Amino acid sequence: MQKRKPLFLLVLGLTSATILAQAAQQSVDPKDGAPFDAQPEKRALQSLLKIAEKEIVPAVDAMPADKFGFAPTDGEFKGVRTFGQMVKHLSATNHILAAAALGEEPPSDAGDEVGPEAVRTKAEILNYLKGSFVHLSRAIEAIGGTNEPVNASPISPLRKGDVTRSALVVESLMHAYDHYGQIVEYLRMNGVVPPASRP
């Protein structure tokens, strides 16, 4: 958990810097000022995406295939997602927000953030998860493009006029790390030490 705090603060700081940079870009007449340089922002977000993928994918892979149907029952856990459902939800959200950042329609098989019904096995869920990170990477590469639209997403608190590619990517990373914390708990409940915590 302590590893996540600095990363969260970095994401929060990057979000603030992004908002300020984009506000400055919008308020400066291109004839009077230098154009916005998206390259540092893209590099930073790609680095954060790789860190998230490097922690989340191995953690999901560490759960035995026969435990993908596990959901906690002790305490206040009535109606929570199973491990597999949670990973599909994380992945579907990545796909939906990446699509919005790219000006695409939400993937029809993402459902209401639940992911495709046909994706059921551990291998299928892992592939869906990995594909969602590829989709987010494409969204990051589009940052700074002026000809491509950005869509507001019904699953995002950001509304039309306020939404940016960077903000949607950061939102997806924050959401992914929220579920990473749950993934870690589910692993430990099943006697599995998360890969990031192993010596």
Q: Residue 161 in contact with residue 124, Cβ under 8 Å?
A: no
Instruction: Note the pLDDT of residue 52.
Output: 97
Cα 55 from Cα 10, distance rounded (Å): 16
Unique residue bearing structure tokens 């306020």? 162
What are the domain boundaries of the chain?
A: 4-197
pTM (two decimals): 0.81
- 185: which 2 tokens? 């708990």
Phi then psi dihedrals of residue 143, to 5 deg? -60, 135
Instruction: Note the pLDDT of residue 4.
Output: 54
Instruction: Note the pLDDT of residue 25.
Output: 43
Instruction: Note the pLDDT of residue 27.
Output: 39
Instruction: Note the pLDDT of residue 50.
Output: 98
Q: Which residues of the chain have pLDDT under 50?
A: 1, 8, 12, 16-17, 19-31
Q: What is the DSSP letter of 94?
A: H
Amino acid at 110: A
Instruction: Note the pLDDT of residue 6.
Output: 54
Instruction: Note the pLDDT of residue 28.
Output: 41
Which fold does the domain 4-197 belong to in CATH? Answer: Four Helix Bundle (Hemerythrin (Met), subunit A) (1.20.120)
- 90: which 2 tokens? 């994380």
Cα 145 from Cα 147, distance rounded (Å): 6
Consecutive H or E run containing 58:
helix 39-62
Torsion over CA: 163, 169, 173, 179 (sign): positive
